[in-house]
Structure 1
Amino acid sequence: MSSKSIRNKRRRENKFDKELTYESSLPPYEPVHKYRIYFLHELTSLEDLNYLINFSQHTKCFAIDTESNYGSNDPALIQILYIQPPDVESPMLLVEVQFLPATSSPTFFKIQQLFQSIFCNDSHLFTWGDIRKELNPFTIYDIFSMPIYSYLHQVQVQFKPWFNQWIKKYYSLPADNIDNDLNDIVIIDAPTYDPTLLLPTQLMNNKKFYSGETWSLQDAIVYTFGQYLSKRETLRQWSIGLDETLYTCDRSFSSNYRKKLIKYACLDCLTVAYINFIMQQSKIPLDMNYVHKQQQTSGEYTLSNTLTVVSDIFQLSEDSSYSSEQNNTELVAVHAPNERHQSPLHSIQLDCHQHETEAPALVSTTVPRSHKRSSIAKKKRNTKTSHRHRANRYNYEIIRPENMKITSIKKLLRENHIKYTNIHVVHSVLYIGVKSDGHKHLYEQLLPSDMFV
């Protein structure tokens, strides 16, 4: 099995374990918004389409998601929620693109009109990911065209800085004032600690905010509302005809199976709408760099999507490593069996003149001088480079007692999502090198002192 296959298998196993943990620890997500499902396909009535077109002309905000078939990745379903106040029944469109009417039919023309009214110039479209990437494969069905000139809100990337500010605000409030400030903040009901997959809220926030990790929709629901959003139906065949009234739907799938897919498809939009609702109500300013609108004249988006949130503590200092060209003595991380470990970085002195180099050979003046290093010089340079790289791998180090095989240690680290640069064991002491000081502080909290004993 290739290393890529092993990584993919491990990733699937971790997702499965997380799904089980969330399901067993948390209540299922219950939608707050009222909604009514409208299937859009060849049997949709003109009356329903006219109603939806009229409704969309009085609605400015929509939550959108898409689904594709597992394996082939063929586009299959577009979900659109008309965002209304939670107590108002909102239309939920499930567009089954594999079952659209003929392009020359009045029904198809009305579906085009409906998308034109939803994707109009002053509409606001909310998605968890990049809506342009989500919708681009669906343009082959001619029910809409790209680019879209609406305001495009990427909720996922807005959520990270918002949640960070939200947590700071929550924990800065006196305990007796929290209940009086519910309009500004929502009480987190997530479990406080689970050593395998559930982290304390503050620790999870730091892990996401100070790294390149994005929030999955499932994790956002867990740590914001303390509820479980199932993602088991993500990898499915969606072109089966969710609406059983379709003459050509695949009858080999049961009604219960269809209901599960329909519920999953609806919840993806409902959760995005509710998270956005909470963010808007929190009075915490949202990062508008992740709201895009394309100008019809220039063909360019007015706002950039390249804003990066990175903490200085995760930036390796340029001074943290030594250059062999600047110093004849360099620091090397070693774990000597007979030496007591007293600091994260041990230093030993290397005598750079311990090897005598060979005398240069006489070269004819008519031939250019060769710049090739001798074998001894190459070996010396490689040794210095190895020492420098080894030192960098242990600049930031976590120390734990151990009493298990190295393969078991690595497995435990992977299961706990610990990204190490190197590990080494000396006399039942485990040294774990990590990338930065920020990772060190984070992993010190994640790894119990007796984890490897």
Structure 2
Amino acid sequence: MLSEEEYYTALQKLHNIPSHLHGNNRQNYKQTLKKQIQEYEYNLKYGNFEPLPYIPYFVNNITTEQTLHQLIQASSSSSEFTLDTESINVYKKKNQPALIQIQVLLPYNLSLVMIVEMCHLPHHHTTRSKDELFPFIIFNLFSREQLQSITTINLQHQFKLFWNQHHPHHHHISTSSNILEDHCICETCIGKKPSEPWSLQDSTAYLLDEYLPKILTRAQFNIGLDPNLFNLDSEEKQYRQQLTKYALNGCLSMQRILIHMKNTKFEFSFEKIIKIPYDLMESVSSSDDEIMFSQLTPSIKRLTNDQNLNINKQEQFISTSTSENSNWKITSTNNSRSANQRHTQSTSEREHRYTHETQPVDEHKPEHKPQQLSMEERKRIHNRSCTLKQRKRLYRQEIVCENT
């Protein structure tokens, strides 16, 4: 957290960005300063975030079988969950999965919150293999097919709709005078662009009037948060308690926001879902704090835009992506062999497509119109393609050592 002197220094730097910074470097420098300034201002303006009653559990290699059975039993009695993930940054590589936080919503606003420590699970042999959960497949907690059976709703987008519905632009005229007082909190008046998504911190501040710290976004969540994993001194325990609180608050803040949205009778609508090939999927959104709302279904279905979901009546699965400015992509091993395999596969697909197009069209067969992709889906595929090209260029030669 900035001091008062550092806060004013950051403001001065924001309005006087060095001229030698250009492109992404300039944008990243500006974004970092804005984040620091926002943390300071939110801390002064709002009270600290207060979660509803909950019971935390760590899931790692020392978790007993009895505890796991109790958690499974408690989870089977609920139909609503929130989910969050934390990862650590790796230089010039995709982020490494570290935590999965699963909150089981119980009656009377109670909940259980499990922190699954991916780097401290029992060892197993595995090979690298929709959602931010795909990188976690390697830990054998779930399969790719199970993830693909979830029909998702972008809750971050839903919150934007919710805010615009309940906070349209208006002017407030004071009754004590004829002076026009503008107390509007619509997106335009609070400085949020129409295309700008809502972060979890902003949602908590404006909706709940509370401050949700995000200072530890880039912390090392793989060090083992359970105090029973290692012998720790008081300073190490205190730091892990801070990381644990940060990880828990991702789910707990989303729970309170959902309760508020439910109380206003807001209807969460399905978005049209098109099944994208796994190798073209983006595992984690590049936006900050993307919030996903999912309903468990037997298989992926294409749903119409006007199909609504009453979240009080159907099973729900909520996930939040709190990875800040993440850009994970699903890739195979980045060596020359895998690159050649992708090139060969791409060449074969082009040859097959050319052969298919040159064949005469059977008049008796109905025409199949190509599936139209939305702007977001085309952008996702484009980002995926750019990432593959970048990794092919950066990691032509990579030595992977595994214990045999």
Question: TM-score scaled to structure 2, two decimals?
Answer: 0.56
The answer for the alignment partner of 2:336 in structure 1 is none
Give the deviation of 1:83 after TM superposition. Answer: 1.2
Select the residue among 122, 132, 137 that pairs with 1:139. 137
Counterpart amino acid of 1:201? I
The answer for the alignment partner of 1:267 in structure 2 is 249
Give the deviation of 1:286 after TM superposition. Answer: 2.8
The answer for the alignment partner of 1:68 in structure 2 is 87
The answer for the alignment partner of 2:312 in structure 1 is none
| 1:157 lines up with 2:139 in the alignment | no
Counterpart amino acid of 1:265? A
Give the deviation of 1:8 after TM superposition. Answer: 0.6
Relative distance call for 1:48 and 1:304 in structure 2 (3 A) is: farther
Relative distance call for 1:252 and 1:5 in structure 2 (3 A) is: farther
Give the deviation of 1:244 after TM superposition. Answer: 1.8
Give the deviation of 1:167 after TM superposition. Answer: 2.0
Larger RCO (CA within 8 A; separation ≥ 6): 2
The answer for the alignment partner of 2:11 in structure 1 is none
The separation in 1 between residues aligned to 2:144 and 2:221, in whole angstroms, is: 23
22-31 or 142-151, which moves further after superposition? Answer: 142-151
The answer for the alignment partner of 2:186 in structure 1 is 202
Matching of residues 353-392 of structure 1 within 5 Å: none
Relative distance call for 1:229 and 1:21 in structure 2 (3 A) is: same
Give the deviation of 1:256 after TM superposition. Answer: 1.3
8 A Cα contact 2:153 2:271, kept in partner? no
Matching of residues 307-386 of structure 1 within 5 Å: none
| 1:6 lines up with 2:42 in the alignment | no
| 1:232 lines up with 2:208 in the alignment | no
Counterpart amino acid of 2:134? N
Q: Secondary structure at the match of 2:131?
A: helix
Q: Percent identity?
A: 31
Q: Secondary structure at the match of 2:271?
A: helix
Q: Secondary structure at the match of 1:201?
A: coil
The separation in 2 between residues aligned to 1:281 and 1:140, in whole angstroms, is: 39
Counterpart amino acid of 1:273? Q
Give the deviation of 1:224 after TM superposition. Answer: 0.5
Relative distance call for 1:68 and 1:217 in structure 2 (3 A) is: same
The separation in 1 between residues aligned to 2:269 and 2:297, in whole angstroms, is: 20
The answer for the alignment partner of 2:384 in structure 1 is none
Quick check: which has more Rg, 1 or 2? 1
Select the residue among 66, 71, 74 that pairs with 1:52. 71
| 1:15 lines up with 2:13 in the alignment | no
Q: Secondary structure at the match of 1:79?
A: strand
Q: Secondary structure at the match of 1:82?
A: strand
8 A Cα contact 2:208 2:257, kept in partner? no
Q: Secondary structure at the match of 1:94?
A: strand
The separation in 2 between residues aligned to 1:60 and 1:172, in whole angstroms, is: 42
Give the deviation of 1:84 after TM superposition. Answer: 2.0
Give the deviation of 1:151 after TM superposition. Answer: 4.5
Matching of residues 211-250 of structure 1 within 5 Å: 211-247=194-230
The answer for the alignment partner of 1:82 in structure 2 is 104
The separation in 1 between residues aligned to 2:268 and 2:171, in whole angstroms, is: 20
RMSD: 3.4
The separation in 1 between residues aligned to 2:297 and 2:251, in whole angstroms, is: 26
Give the deviation of 1:253 after TM superposition. Answer: 6.3
The separation in 2 between residues aligned to 1:74 and 1:225, in whole angstroms, is: 32
The answer for the alignment partner of 1:25 in structure 2 is 45
The separation in 1 between residues aligned to 2:296 and 2:59, in whole angstroms, is: 27
8 A Cα contact 2:271 2:303, kept in partner? yes
Counterpart amino acid of 1:276? L
The separation in 1 between residues aligned to 2:228 and 2:207, in whole angstroms, is: 38
- Deviations along 1:374-430, one digit per CA (max 9) or x if unpaired, are xxxxxxxxxxxxxxxxxxxxxxxxxxxxxxxxxxxxxxxxxxxxxxxxxxxxxxxxx
Relative distance call for 1:38 and 1:295 in structure 2 (3 A) is: closer
The answer for the alignment partner of 2:116 in structure 1 is 95
Q: Secondary structure at the match of 1:23?
A: helix
Relative distance call for 1:261 and 1:283 in structure 2 (3 A) is: same
The separation in 2 between residues aligned to 1:43 and 1:80, in whole angstroms, is: 18
| Matched residue count | 252
Counterpart amino acid of 2:264? S
- Deviations along 1:36-60, one digit per CA (max 9) or x if unpaired, are 1110000001111000111111111
Q: Secondary structure at the match of 2:103?
A: strand
Give the deviation of 1:102 after TM superposition. Answer: 3.3
The separation in 2 between residues aligned to 1:64 and 1:294, in whole angstroms, is: 13
The separation in 2 between residues aligned to 1:139 and 1:250, in whole angstroms, is: 31
Q: Secondary structure at the match of 2:98?
A: strand
8 A Cα contact 2:118 2:139, kept in partner? yes
Give the deviation of 1:205 after TM superposition. Answer: 6.6
Counterpart amino acid of 2:261? M
Counterpart amino acid of 1:21? E
Query: Any stretches of 5+ residues in structure 1 without a counterpart?
Result: 105-131, 176-191, 194-198, 308-453
Q: Secondary structure at the match of 2:113?
A: strand
Give the deviation of 1:287 after TM superposition. Answer: 2.9
The separation in 2 between residues aligned to 1:294 and 1:57, in whole angstroms, is: 13
Q: Secondary structure at the match of 2:49?
A: coil
Question: TM-score scaled to structure 1, two decimals?
Answer: 0.50
8 A Cα contact 1:293 1:302, kept in partner? no
